[in-house]
Chain A
Amino acid sequence: MKTTTVVVGAGHSGLAVSRRLTERSIDHVVIERGEVANSWRTQRWDSLRLLTPNWQSRLPGYDYGAHGGRDPDGFMSMPEVVRFMADYATLVDAPVRTGTTVTSVRSAGAGYIVDTDKGRWECKTVVLASGGFNVAKVPELGGAPPASVTAMSAFEYRNPAALAPGGVLVVGASATGVQIADEVRRSGRPVTVAVGEHVRMPRLYRGRDILWWMERSGLFDERYDEVDDVVRVRRTPSPQLVGTPERATLDLNALTDQGVSLVGRLAALRGTEALLSGSLTNKCELADLKLDRLLDTFDEWAAESRVDAVGPPERFAPTRVPPSPPLRLDLAGGRVRTIIWATGFRPDYSWLDVPVLDQKGQIRHDGGVVTGSGGLYVMGLNFLRRRKSSFIHGAGDDSRDLVSHLAGHLDSLAAA
């Protein structure tokens, strides 16, 4: 089978790209291993809601209002996200081939061959829109937990009732870690969170959603070629945010209020013990200082732009760090029965047979234009082109830019 462009993945990124390709009448297919929004359907825990407010859920030519939504300040549950994406796929008439798994992408002449379990596609360009969060990253800790402990990734976690009775160690304090820790703690289990580098954010600032500030102040639009250190910002953990009807803040102080114990980063597993870093105080200090700098930025923007309809500037109490958190946890004594790895995710490129990965297995790209392989593009990674790139609404601008580049590439092939 032949087409001009193969898009791998029918999530928000792939669908946005499909819409842009259709706008330019570029012949394409969208290959999807499951159904539209497959990861949102299958790889998320039961209670999860988006951490972006509904009004921010928008894709090219579509938004929450057009979707018929009536709660712009709310946060979508996973079934609602799936419905939003499925409706979008129908609206843009995306040529999605569901239930089709890509087994290989490789170069062939000036184009690519995409092999799937349902046959081969020959094409001139490929857009990798399979997501940045396919595989749970589990740190190398020099050992394994004892047999009495069940270890699982956030992909495997579903709800507290499915866990063994007893204590839970959540490793990681980014969005995933704090959300799971909060939910498990509310089920009555003792919960300890191992805290490394993290990004602290209040849900509301001066009466507005923090992501309203990120968007309106222009920070979400900040480009990858404008920041000092793109490697560092691409590694920035997800903010400690949760989408709840109460619009509650879920920072470490909120977890402490719930009775969650904070300990340092999990540094090693030795025998039946977890060894913890003594760096908790500094990790919290870094996050508190960074939050204050962010709020300073917002306050300056609000003053310069004469933004009204917001409350007065505020600052949040420093993170309360326990005076001497334990440096080791006994994993064999029965107090910890479950470890949940909330230590981040990475893309899966196991089927990508084009030599574009660096030594760390990350794809080399310049704002989504894959380096060293003309006509290959990637979408949806952290800070791909903009700070908002990994958010649903980030797909709009990125897909416009990359499909514009892709069209230029097709023109150059035609001229050659």
Chain B
Amino acid sequence: MTSANVDNGVNVEHLLGARNALTEAREAAQFTWKATNEWLNGTHSRSSVDSYHGLGEEHQHRSTFTFEADHPLVFGAEDNAATPVELVLAGLASCLTAGVAAVAQNREIQLRSVKATLEGSMDILGILGGDPDVRNGFNDVKVSYDIDADASPDEIRALVAQSQKRSAVYDIITNPTNVSVEVN
């Protein structure tokens, strides 16, 4: 499948092999992604990610990854880290870019550079409780890609479109999800 001279560093054979194996073994395809979070001070907190469940067993990441978040100075906070909504933008961008690389590899398109710029617009009267008709979340998310690759403009647009079609975070943001929050 992979052409010898196209290398975006994505193991497409592994992904296609997994798809074939998992359509016959649906249980193994059930993954659980996990994170923990601990309050530090003020609006500052730290999330940790070290393990996930899938293929019927628990897996450890190669190390524990941490992500801090805080609110900015204009909110009267200390701005120790990115805001949570900026982490959401980062998650969306990372997911779409990974998809672009994988789809490009599968379509034998050599990438040279892929850059995304994201903007999420928000009326903060929502989170401040200042107007009950304003939602808390983004009104709109705009993603803009600059891609340099051995492909026509339409082929590049098709990479980005296909990446959205197969993106977990794009799906999470564009579709509703049931969320249950419990207190132990």
Partner-B contacts on A (CB < 8 A): 142, 197, 231, 264, 267-268, 270, 275, 277-279, 282, 285-286, 289, 292-293, 324, 359
Contacts and interface: CB of A to CB of B under 8 A. Distances in A.
Given A292-B154, A324-B140, A359-B26, A285 B161 contact: yes
Contacts of A289: 154, 157-158, 161
Contacts of B154: 289, 292-293
Nearest to B171: A279
A2 B164 CA distance: 55
A286 B161 contact: yes
A30 to B, nearest CB: 35
Contact of B175 (A231, A267, A359): A267
15 contacts: A231-B23, A278-B175, A279-B164, A279-B170, A279-B171, A282-B164, A282-B170, A285-B157, A286-B162, A289-B161, A293-B154, A293-B158, A324-B139, A324-B140, A359-B26
B56 interface: no
Nearest to B16: A229
Given A282-B164, A282-B165, A286-B165, A277 B157 contact: no
Contact of B176 (A231, A270, A282, A324): A270
Contacts of B140: 324
- Which 8 A-B pairs give the minimum distances between C-beta atoms? A278-B174, A267-B175, A282-B164, A279-B174, A275-B176, A286-B161, A285-B161, A289-B158
Contacts of B35: none
Interface string B89-131: 0000000000000000000000000000000000000000000
A285 B158 CA distance: 8
Interface in B1-50: 23, 26
Interface residues of B, number: 18
A282 B173 contact: no
A278 B139 CA distance: 11
B164 to A, nearest CB: 4
B162 A278 contact: no
A324 B141 CA distance: 11
B176 A267 contact: yes
A268 B161 contact: no
Contacts of B164: 279, 282
Contacts of A268: 175-176
A64 B6 CA distance: 50
A267 B172 CA distance: 11
A205 B27 CA distance: 47
Contacts of A197: 165
A95 to B, nearest CB: 40
Contact of A282 (B161, B175, B178): B161
Which of B170, B173, B175 has the most A CB atoms < 10 Å from its CB?
Answer: B175
A264 B26 contact: no
Nearest to A289: B158
Interface in B119-152: 139-140
Given A324-B139, A324-B140, A359-B26, 18 more contacts: A267-B175, A268-B176, A275-B176, A277-B174, A279-B164, A279-B170, A279-B171, A279-B175, A282-B161, A282-B164, A282-B165, A282-B170, A285-B157, A286-B158, A286-B162, A289-B154, A289-B161, A293-B158
Interface in B159-184: 161-162, 164-165, 170-171, 173-176, 178
Which of B162, B164, B170 has the most A CB atoms < 10 Å from its CB?
Answer: B164
Contact of A278 (B158, B161, B173): B173
Nearest to A292: B154
Contacts of B173: 278
A221 B23 CA distance: 28
A278 B137 CA distance: 13
Contacts of B175: 267-268, 275, 277-279
A324 B140 CA distance: 8
Contacts of A286: 158, 161-162, 165
Nearest to B138: A278
A292 B155 CA distance: 11
B15 to A, nearest CB: 13
Nearest to A264: B174
A282 to B, nearest CB: 4
A275 B154 CA distance: 31
Which of B162, B170, B174 has the most A CB atoms < 10 Å from its CB?
Answer: B174
Contacts of B23: 231
Contacts of A267: 175-176
Nearest to A286: B161
A293 B157 CA distance: 12
A270 B173 CA distance: 17
